[in-house]
Amino acid sequence: MASDSSAPVPECLPPRQALSTESTGAEVLPLAKVIVEKSPAVLFRRLNDEAHRLVYVSENISRYGYAACEFLEGRREFADIVHPDDRDRLAAEIKEYARLERVEYTQEYRLVSPGGQVFWVHDETLAERDEQGRITHYQGIVMDITARRQAEDALRQANLIVERSPIILFRRTAGATGLEYVSQNVSRYGYDPEALRLGTLSFLDIVHPEDHASLVSQVRAARLAGKDEYAMRYRIRTATGELRWIDDVTTVDFDARGEPLHYQGVLADVTERVRAEEALRKSEEKHRRILETAAEGFIMMDAELRLVSCNEAYAAMLGYSPHELLGRRPHEWSTPEFRAFLVANRKRLLAQDRRSFEGSLVARDGTVVPVLVHGNTLRDPEGNFLNHIAFVTDISTQKKALALAEEVQRSLLPSGPPRWNGLEVAGRMAASESIGGDYYDYFDLPASYPGWLGVVVGDIAGHGVDAALLMTTARAFLRQRVQLPGELAEVMMDLNRALVRDMGDSGRFMTCFQLLINCCEHHPEALTRLCWVRAGHDPALLYDPETDCFTELDGPGLPLGIVEDYPFESRTLDSIRPGMVIAVGTDGIWEAMDTQGQLYGKERFKEVLRRHSRASAVDMVDAVFQDVGRFCQGVRFQDDVTLVIIKLVGAVPHA
């Protein structure tokens, strides 16, 4: 019997002192002779009272993690170690047996060790009577039957699986009319298993008449060939007349002379598979016709990337017929740049079952056709290669539209840094796609902050055309709003309300950081003042080269476009002096990744600022973009990247 060693067995009094709370050693000696303390059977003796108090329990109760003295000294009740789910049943049974004055009974239940291990036990209990015939005690043995119960459960589960599965098992003796064995689940087809076993119903009776001859012929051929296993597919009729497809795999036991003794096998209902295969065949035919007539180009290639199939749209894109392209590789009509990309990245691309990339093809008349390629590798269920396929889309029109959008977006970004005495300002935005959702701008608030320079950096969630359109909306609103009176926080609240209306339930939002900076007009050595509002954006960084300290310009604030009436708050800082650097960026910088998926991180960003803090603002921006590019090792930015650097050089700004 397994023992539970997760908890130490409590120490007890010496066995002779702990045997009984009311008996002498002589009284329990007959019991000790029945069950030795070292045996796997635990012996007990208890009173016939409401408490079922134990007066003896053998020391080998320790097999379950407990000490005999715990029960004999009243520190633990036997019911305490019974599984919670069995306690009520066990107590009810004992009570009923006592009422009936049963002198002998058995029970099975579970015990739980101190460490939580569960044991199934078989309990055989015998009543003891006094001279008047009254039951005074019960004695018995408790045996560990965990292994038996587990085996029974496994067998029960196996039988349940078979009976509930679509698999029918059978065994028949060669030459016999009936089946030696057939699983009960044959009844799912409306047939009595007993009728098949007795032979009153022949198996051929349920086989579709059109398949009789084929079935008999295949069995005869397997017999003549001496095969010990064969497989067949045929139809059966259920008792209600429904047709079902069956896969039959039969094995044969032979005697010493090579004559068949038994046939045993597995019958699997594959009706749904057959129907699916037929539906798949029809679907493949349908999709083949769809691909052949689709407006989007489609190609299928072998392992060497030679075309084995292409549709009319792909061939027409290049000015050829499909027949002219078969057996050739797409490299042949790729531009030199695209061909170099395909050659250099072949291994990486083909390692991906799904890949997307852009390139350019050269048509028969010399026209360059920009294309978007969505590739895929087809494999069978075992993972073996079948074909490479690709959908190829002519994106000439989209390219022209994107080129126009890029031109418009570039025109919306500042054409150059603001001319502001005492400050050097530089900014740059690089979109992860051709256009992006990042944004930066310079402004002033003449009505409320005359003489202050404003800087704003924003980041629309996502990137691409839709993000760029939302960025344009935000820029236009902000440019108009800053010309009106109002504190900086009020400007942010008005922008937020406008974006909530524009974005609606799109799930989009915008993070934003607005900063105002002013230098004392008459004293160059005086401290510069900052005022800023943060809307879910990463805090700007203030770097002091003299102390080599970075300070985050932090503050509360949700992203814009989420809560319409969110009360944004402004923060101010007066202890700013010449030589300090302010950096406002988007998370595309520190979340840029290298080929191993490692993030660039803010610490690298800070180190670049530290190394180049004495350079011009323009050079600092260049240094950051170059360092991020080196870190990424050619990996495309996953998000737009924007950075504005402000250097305080100490001159006096003009009012």
Residue 575 confidence (pLDDT) above 90? no
Which of the pair, 49 or 67, is modelled with greater confidence? 67
Looking at every residue in the chain, the average pLDDT score rounds to 85
**According to the CATH classification, is domain 15-148 in 3.30.450.20?**
yes
Instruction: Say yes or no: do domains 165-274 and 413-648 share a fold.
Output: no
Q: Which residues contact 308 (CB under 8 A, 6 or more apart)?
A: 300, 301, 302, 326, 387
Which one, of 395, 475, 401, lies nearest residue 440 by Cα? 475
* Fold classification of 413-648 (topology level): Phosphatase 2c; domain 1 (3.60.40)
Which of the pair, 409 or 547, is modelled with greater confidence? 547
Q: From CA 648, how far away is CA 582, in angstroms rounded? A: 8
Q: From CA 92, how far away is CA 82, in angstroms rounded? A: 14
What CATH architecture applies to the domain 295-394?
2-Layer Sandwich (3.30)
Per-residue confidence band for 106, with pLDDT thresholds at 50, 70 and 90? very high
Which of the pair, 410 or 213, is modelled with greater confidence? 213
Q: From CA 237, how far away is CA 507, in angstroms rounded? A: 56
**Residue 494 in tokens:** 């008005």
Q: What is the mean pLDDT of residues 42-58?
A: 88
Residue 370 confidence (pLDDT) above 60? yes
Q: What stretch of H or E contains 449?
A: strand 449-460
Lowest-pLDDT choice from 125-139, 167-181, 332-346: 167-181
β-strand pairing of 167-173 with 135-144: unpaired
The predicted pLDDT at position 235 comes to: 93
Q: What is the mean pLDDT of residues 376-389?
A: 90
Q: From CA 399, how far away is CA 393, in angstroms rounded? A: 12
Residue 607 confidence (pLDDT) above 90? yes
Q: What is the mean pLDDT of residues 402-417?
A: 75
**Residue 58 in tokens:** 């053998």
Q: From CA 309, how far away is CA 105, in angstroms rounded? A: 79
The predicted pLDDT at position 653 comes to: 40
Q: Would you say the C-alpha torsion 358, 361, 366, 367 has a positive or negative sign?
A: negative
Q: From CA 373, how far away is CA 359, in angstroms rounded? A: 8
Residue 35 confidence (pLDDT) above 70? no
Per-residue confidence band for 1, with pLDDT thresholds at 50, 70 and 90? very low
- Give the strands of the sheet with 260-269, arranged side by side: 181-182, 167-173, 260-269, 243-254, 229-237
Per-residue confidence band for 21, with pLDDT thresholds at 50, 70 and 90? very low
Q: From CA 305, how far away is CA 387, in angstroms rounded? A: 9
Which one, of 543, 539, 555, lies nearest residue 457 by Cα? 539
Q: What stretch of H or E contains 190?
A: none
Residue 61 confidence (pLDDT) above 50? yes
DSSP 599: B
Which of the pair, 115 or 160, is modelled with greater confidence? 115
Per-residue confidence band for 350, with pLDDT thresholds at 50, 70 and 90? confident
The predicted pLDDT at position 12 comes to: 58
SS (H, E, C) 562-584: CCCCCCCCEEEEEEECCCCEEEE
Per-residue confidence band for 533, with pLDDT thresholds at 50, 70 and 90? very high
The predicted pLDDT at position 519 comes to: 66
Per-residue confidence band for 49, with pLDDT thresholds at 50, 70 and 90? confident
The predicted pLDDT at position 362 comes to: 96
Q: What is the mean pLDDT of residues 550-566?
A: 92
Q: What is the mean pLDDT of residues 610-616?
A: 95
What CATH architecture applies to the domain 165-274?
2-Layer Sandwich (3.30)
Per-residue confidence band for 368, with pLDDT thresholds at 50, 70 and 90? very high
% of the chain at pLDDT higher than 70: 90
Q: From CA 23, how far away is CA 128, in angstroms rounded? A: 15
Q: What is the mean pLDDT of residues 189-217?
A: 90
**Residue 129 in tokens:** 């009577």
**Residue found by looking up tokens 């395909």 in the block:** 342
Which one, of 494, 534, 514, 516, lies nearest residue 449 by Cα? 516
Phi, psi of 540 (to 5 degrees): -70, 160
Which of the pair, 466 or 61, is modelled with greater confidence? 61
Listed ranges 6-10, 118-122, 465-469; the one with the highest mean pLDDT? 118-122
Lowest-pLDDT choice from 28-32, 40-44, 158-162, 580-584: 28-32
Residue 528 confidence (pLDDT) above 90? no
Q: From CA 356, how far away is CA 333, in angstroms rounded? A: 19
Q: From CA 41, how far away is CA 79, in angstroms rounded? A: 18
CA dihedral 144, 147, 153, 157 (to 10 degrees): 170
Q: From CA 281, how far away is CA 439, in angstroms rounded? A: 52
310, 297 Cβ separation under 8 angstroms: yes
The predicted pLDDT at position 317 comes to: 93
Q: What is the mean pLDDT of residues 265-280?
A: 89
Residue 237 confidence (pLDDT) above 70? yes
Q: From CA 365, how far away is CA 580, in angstroms rounded? A: 60
Say which amino acid occupies 102: R
Q: From CA 196, how far away is CA 215, in angstroms rounded? A: 18
Alpha-helical (H) ranges within 48-107 are 68-72, 84-100
Q: What is the mean pLDDT of residues 526-542?
A: 88
Residue spans of the domains in the chain: they are: 15-148, 165-274, 295-394, 413-648
